Amino acid sequence: MNSEELKKIQTPLKDKYREAPDSAVYTLKAKGKLGEGISCKVETGKVLADAGLHPATGGNGMLACSGDLLLEALVACAGVTLGAVATSIGINIKEGFVRAEGDLDFRGTLGVSKEIPVGFKDIRLFFDLNSDADEEKIQALLKLTERYCVVYQTIVSGTKIDTKIVNGSVLV
């Protein structure tokens, strides 16, 4: 896809969202079914992913760890966003790789120490790009990717989450 093709697709959407801001609000959904042992079958829209405990918390390593899934969602979103931004601003990326890694102290999630926070302490996101773009354009690409990546912004903004248990109902 080139810049003109992307603009052709996105311009009518942007115009619609400017004229009717409420039409830009979508509710994305995810659901899963608790499985055997300590697992959850998550519907991704394309495939089922079986999630379970990380080996550092007693898992056998055969199921996807939710922390890994979070990093994978970040990599996917950042990669797609970077590709769209590069296309939009005319940067040719010959080849590119995205990698995320994060540090967890499992004493927090296992309740070994109340002083240790639960969750990632640090996350690092790397883009390895083969491009002829100069350093200024590459830095603009990085800044715009950070700005428009949904998962990145959700993580860095600390989005509020409401939780509830619905007893006896099947959540659909």
In contact, 91 and 141? CB cutoff 8 Å: yes
pLDDT tens digits for range 44-81: 777 778 889 888 888 888 888 899 899 999 999 999 99
For residue 66, which of 43, 50, 88 has the smallest C-alpha distance?
A: 50
pLDDT value at residue 31: 73
Residue 34 has pLDDT above 60, yes or no: yes
Any idea which of 47-61, 122-136, 150-164 has the lowest mean pLDDT? 47-61
Query: 28 falls in which pLDDT band (50, 70, 90)?
Result: confident
The pLDDT value recorded for residue 42 is 79
Is the predicted pLDDT of residue 143 greater than 70, yes or no? Answer: yes
Q: Supply the pLDDT for residue 83.
A: 92
CATH homologous superfamily, domain 21-157: K homology (KH) domain (3.30.300.20)
Q: How many other β-carbons are positioned within 10 Å of the β-carbon of residue 48?
A: 11
Look at residues 119, 121, 89 and name the one whose alpha carbon lies nearest to residue 103: 121
Instruction: Strands of the chain (E only): list them.
Output: 31-34, 39-43, 48-52, 64-65, 93-104, 120-131
Cα gap 45→1, rounded to integer Å: 24
The domain ranges of the chain are 21-157
Residue 168 clears pLDDT 90, i.e. is over it: no
Q: Residue 169: pLDDT above 70?
A: no
Between 32 and 144, name the one with better pLDDT.
Answer: 144
Mark 134-170 as b/e (b = at least 16 C-beta within 10 Å).
eeeebeebeebbbebbebbeebeeeeeeeeeeeeeee
Question: Pick from 53, 145, 130: which is nearest to 96 by CA?
Answer: 130
